[in-house]
Amino acid sequence: MTVVDELVAVLGYKIEGGDKLKEFQTGLDQAEQGASKATAAISGTAKALGVGLSGAAAVAFGKKALTQFADFELVMTRIGIAAGASAEEVAGASNDVQRLAQRFAMPIDPATAGLDTLTASGMSLKDAMSFLPSVLATAQASGASTIDIANTIQKASTTLGITAGDAQKAFDIMVAGGKAGQFELKDMAQYLPTLSSQFSMLGYSGNEGLRRLIVLMQLMREKTGSSSEAATQLSNVMQKIYSNETQNAFGKMGVDLEARMKEAIAGGEDTISAFTRITRETINGDLTQLPKLF
């Protein structure tokens, strides 16, 4: 796929009248509502079926249970040390992890693996524990690994500024986005960390930025043979928006792209929409002129 093809794939929804974007966003809205309901239902079922700590201890009593508990304590201690937490904080977190594992009907190992991933990225134990319920709920609802889900939200938190309070909404958007097109949740877990970093540099943030990025992922995936190729092409396009090469190409056609972009963004237009509009205006709707710019 050439650079021109990449730009047509990503920006074509604007040039062609917006039908594709509307289609994806409608599907995303519907899937997002379903994802929220599914997450809530699973959470409620786990609460109804879960047993108390004392009941679980009675059932699991014996040498194997003691060994597993010792392993769990060892893992939690290691997580606490890595996160710089006190013994009291680790003890409290250990109790909370056990309760969360029961709440979401999940084995303790993937629950601690999710927490370990969050703290290994640099989160404090307190912050990691605030994200963990959403991580476990989404992993249970989607079938994805807690490690992938934890890594995804950690990167989204860092790059797009998504807080723990917005984490479940972010996960619902990702689950919904995966259902709305061919770029699935497992693909997002792999490629979203890098793409969200680039996207944030274009001025996007929060769950609305995440939503917008997922729409672009799905649009690109329609035009490519795999999610890997789609992620690479989308990354390539985002890098080119503010590149010197692109600026010079627009200049040769009499357009000061940097000044036009600044004016558009100052007026409230987002980066992708502004770049698309300016590109369309520059070539006057003639896609055969795109090679002159890219």
Mean pLDDT, rounded, for 247-253:
92
pLDDT at 31 over 80: no
Q: Which residues of 141-154 are buried (b: 16+ CB within 10 A; e: fewer)?
A: bbebbbbbbbbbbb
- Position 87 scores a pLDDT of 92
Rounded to whole angstroms, the Cα distance separating 231 from 109 reads: 31
Contact 180, 187 (CB under 8 A): no
Rounded to whole angstroms, the Cα distance separating 170 from 31 reads: 13
Rounded to whole angstroms, the Cα distance separating 217 from 215 reads: 5
Start-to-end CA distance of the chain, whole Å, equals 13
- Position 26 scores a pLDDT of 57
Rounded to whole angstroms, the Cα distance separating 213 from 152 reads: 14
- Position 256 scores a pLDDT of 95
How sure is the predictor about 192, in pLDDT bands with cuts at 50, 70 and 90?
Answer: confident
Instruction: Name the percent of the chain in helix, strand, coil, to the closest 5.
Output: 80, 0, 20
Q: Is the pTM of this model over 0.75?
A: no
Tens-place pLDDT, residues 53-106: 444 444 443 455 555 667 888 899 999 998 999 999 999 999 999 999 999 989
Closest CA to 31 of 231, 228, 185: 185
Mean pLDDT, rounded, for 7-28:
50
Mean pLDDT, rounded, for 128-142:
91
Tens-place pLDDT, residues 197-226: 999 999 999 999 999 999 999 989 988 889
Give how far Cα 127 sits from Cα of 43, 86, 268, Å.
21, 14, 33
**Mean pLDDT, the chain, whole residue set:** 80
pLDDT at 127 over 90: yes
Rounded to whole angstroms, the Cα distance separating 22 from 110 reads: 38
Give how far Cα 117 sits from Cα of 17, 111, 184, 192, 260, Å.
42, 10, 21, 16, 42
DSSP 8-class letter at 284:
T
